[in-house]
Chain A
Amino acid sequence: MAQQKNLEGYVGFASLPNQVYRKSVKRGFEFTLMVVGESGLGKSTLINSLFLTDLYSAEHPGPSHRVKKTVQVEQTKVLVKEGGVQLLLTVVDTPGFGDAVDNSNCWQPVIDHIDSKFEDYLNAESRVNRRQMPDSRVHCCLYFIAPSGHGLKPLDIEFMKRLHEKVNIIPLIAKADTLTPEECQQFKKQIMREIQEHKIKIYEFPDTDDDEEEKLVKKIKDCLPLAVVGSNTIIEANGKRVRGRQYPWGVAEVENSDHCDFTILRNMLIRTHMQDLKDVTNNVHYENYRSRKLAAVTCNGVDNNRTKGQLTKLDTVEGMSPLAQMEEERREHVAKMKKMEMEMEQVFEMKVKEKVQKLRDSEAELQRRHEQMKKNLEAQHKELEEKRRQFEEDRAHWEAQQRLVEQQKLDASRTLEKNKKKGKIF
């Protein structure tokens, strides 16, 4: 549909990126980072090291210092500025995670928190009157794995399996300065194997066309999960002031890539992939949540518990908004009603026909019988007539006969009388 056209001169829309840059700086940026892991794994220290600021300090203690009976989810918001760019950073931590004796369901508050942020965003997005929506959705979850050197703990696996489709998970090996490089390699391999085995989807780096970037991404991928070390203190080492941990046997430097993967993490998380983490949260995790939520509404308002994970094409009416779906249902219903009406009409007509026919038949039958009876009567009438006629005839005949006999008798008696008279005279 679109035609390729060549420009014959300078137009100027190549300044569009600058325009976008300008506007984004004016708006400012926001990012929400979640840290999850057992107490004492150095989470707060790592955050402080990452952002080179005392997010967690004596006044605002980190999660491990806030001992809780149950797992809580707490937010800390800080505003940081650098090079004219303002960033609103929200760090979500989970004090109490994995610290209890029975840790079943300790991930539930985390899931609830993430979902509630999605819910807030969904509601804000769905309002009739919308304003610029703050994005408080969790963009990234740093999961701290204890440096046991063996493999993932059941809790680790369980947590990651439950959250990998809700948030970008970046697994980290905490306190990596307790592992030698060889042990670390082994450990990393083991963990990646287990992650694959359990089909856990950790954050995936996007493909790029740029070769330079591609090389960088490959380097990161080879180091997963990243083994990190954090520190709040600056130490003199080799004439330099570095962030590190002082041991009798030397200094473990945080920002030394031979010592740990901290720089890789910082570069990846903040300098190169922060925007992508936000995009994936928006385009994938949030959309999943949203479509699941809306599909549940349209299927008779009952929570659709059939599908736990992503909806498949078979489960939803592909590509329709709930309103459009209602329209569709309305149309279907109208068609159904029409059909029902037609059917009912048919049945009605048929029954009426039947009844009318029956009535007619019965009428005919009665008529026939009536005719029959009439005929019968007439026949009887005729018979009677005939009988009477015969009788009359007979009677007349007999009476005539009787009269004749009577006449004869009379004549005879008259003659006898005469003879008697005559006889007597003699």
Chain B
Amino acid sequence: MAATEIARQAGEGARTLPLSGHVGFDSMPDQLVNKSVNHGFCFNILCVGETGLGKSTLMDTLFNTKFEGEPNQHNQPGVQLKSNTYELQESNVRLKLTIVNTVGFGDQINKEDSYKSIVEFIDTQFEAYLQEELKIKRTLHSYHDTRVHACLYFIAPTGHSLKSLDLVTMKKLDSKVNIIPIIAKSDAISKSELTKFKIKITSELVSNGVQIYQFPTDDETVAEINSTMNGHLPFAVVGSTEEVKIGNKMVKARQYPWGTVQVENESHCDFVKLREMLIRVNMEDLREQTHTRHYELYRRCKLEEMGFKDTDPDSKPFSLQETYEAKRNEFMGELQKKEEEMRQMFVQRVKEKEAELKEAEKELHEKFDRLKKLHQDEKKKLEDKKKALDDELNVFKQKKTAAELLQSQAQQAGGSTTLKRDKERKNNPWLCTE
């Protein structure tokens, strides 16, 4: 038996021992299977293709059930993605199937951005899973996985080659999802045209470096069938939910005046091959590839974007704790710096405003000092005037008093002279005074 991955990983450290009886761990795969059956399975398919290529019909045919009520409205601008989840059960296996349809793909005049909403959708699912995985308290084992496991790319049956829209879109999607290209409505192509068409498509994909999903050939049980099927890609399919009686059986078919195309007839179309590969043989591998390849790529890019590294400059591996701590310290440092900056800015403003106000105050005081000075001068002048007046007043008073004194003296003297004259007259009648 070929070495298992575990054995390879164990390497030299483990010795192989023979068992002397039946221990019973060969039930491990069964135990694992029982657990997964109990838990239920989930699968998500994305159908990308132009309007009218029979995407919904094919889904109905593949899963033998009528999924959607009515066809989608095509009145929205841009490409919309509509997803629906269904619970299916077959014997004891429960499957949560999500079908995502692109509405309006290829309808626009300018289709440059058509792929964007698809890529965005796929990335959103990856992001949701990544967020859950990074949570502190997480519940991964009960998480409803919405990541797209398979992308069925519907190619229009022109018979010539791939459209440039197809090439561009597939190139953008090949690193994000498992692409399975199929030729839709292949009952419009004749057998010879079909072979040429398939070869053309395959060569165009190869020359443009588009990586489509290859059915795995590493497991001996399915290697043979898978490699044969790889050669039949892209599958030319026909879908139909109508039944037509052929012989004594009711089969799914499309009835034309010139004949009936039987969906499940392998010589009519590759529907059976698609169903076989997609569902019955490789469903689990599609899920595994999505998880281990596409999701890991997304995760790696996202973490590197955020600045996480596995080794520090000295090539020593980081422990998770160190990484988070380093990030956290950086982050806190940033925040603190911002806070400091803001504070400083405010301090600066306050300083400036204070200086301004001080200036204004100074000016005001200066103004009033000037006024005060003026005042003082005025006052002084007034005082001087007052003094001058007082002096004059004093002089005048003195003069007045002196004059009055003189006058009173004179009067007295005059009085006494008159008296004297009168006396003399009396005494001397001969003195005629006048």
Contact = CB atoms under 8 A, between A and B. Distances in A.
A194 to B, nearest CB: 32
Contacts of A154: none
A107 to B, nearest CB: 24
Contact of A122 (B9, B320, B434): B320
B14 A322 contact: no
Contacts of A318: 137
Interface residues of B, number: 128
Interface residue SS majority, chain A: helix
A2 B63 CA distance: 16
Contacts of B317: 123
B25 A87 contact: yes
A24 B31 CA distance: 11
Interface string A388-426: 100100110010001001000100000100110011001
A67 interface: no
Interface in B20-69: 20-37, 41, 43, 62-67
A294 B296 CA distance: 21
Contacts of A24: 28-29, 32-33
Interface residue SS majority, chain B: helix
A374 B141 CA distance: 94
A308 interface: no
A391 to B, nearest CB: 6
Interface in A295-345: 295-298, 300-301, 311, 316-326, 329-330, 333, 337, 340-341, 344
A221 interface: no
A297 B393 CA distance: 100
Given A3-B85, A13-B95, A344 B25 contact: no
Contacts of B90: 7, 10-14
B213 interface: no
Interface stretch (A160-168, A173-181, A267-275): A267-275
A316 B136 CA distance: 8
Given A291-B137, A359-B364, A422-B434, A52 B63 contact: no
Contact of A5 (B23, B37, B65, B360): B65
A350 to B, nearest CB: 12
Interface in B105-137: 131, 133-137
Contacts of A83: 26
B280 A330 contact: no
Given A13-B283, A82-B23, A395-B396, A20 B32 contact: yes
A391 B389 contact: yes
B221 A22 contact: yes
A88 interface: yes
A319 B43 CA distance: 25
Residue from B6, B91, B92 having most chain A Cβ neighbours under 10 A: B6
B364 A13 contact: no
A127 B279 CA distance: 33
A84 interface: yes
A341 B21 CA distance: 78
Contacts of B364: 359, 362-363, 366
A78 interface: yes
Interface stretch (A26-34, A35-43, A93-101, A142-150): A26-34
Nearest to A282: B141
Contact of A129 (B7, B18, B284, B300): B300
A28 B375 CA distance: 109
A72 to B, nearest CB: 18
B324 A294 contact: yes
B28 A274 contact: yes
B339 interface: yes
A321 B320 CA distance: 13
A128 interface: yes
Contacts of B5: 26-28, 132
Question: Which 8 pairs between the two chains have the least Cβ-Cβ distance?
Answer: A28-B4, A28-B6, A321-B134, A83-B26, A19-B284, A419-B434, A275-B31, A12-B280
22 contacts: A13-B93, A13-B95, A14-B93, A15-B279, A17-B36, A21-B33, A22-B222, A24-B28, A79-B17, A85-B25, A88-B10, A128-B299, A132-B292, A275-B34, A276-B31, A293-B320, A324-B135, A326-B327, A340-B339, A384-B389, A395-B396, A419-B433
Interface of B: 1, 4-7, 9-10, 13-37, 41, 43, 62-67, 84-93, 95-96, 131, 133-138, 141, 219, 221-222, 275-276, 279-285, 288, 292, 296, 299-300, 303-304, 306, 308-310, 317, 319-321, 323-325, 327-329, 331, 335, 338-339, 342, 346, 349-350, 353, 357, 360-361, 364, 368, 371-372, 375, 378-379, 382, 385-386, 389, 392-393, 396, 400, 403, 407, 410, 430-434
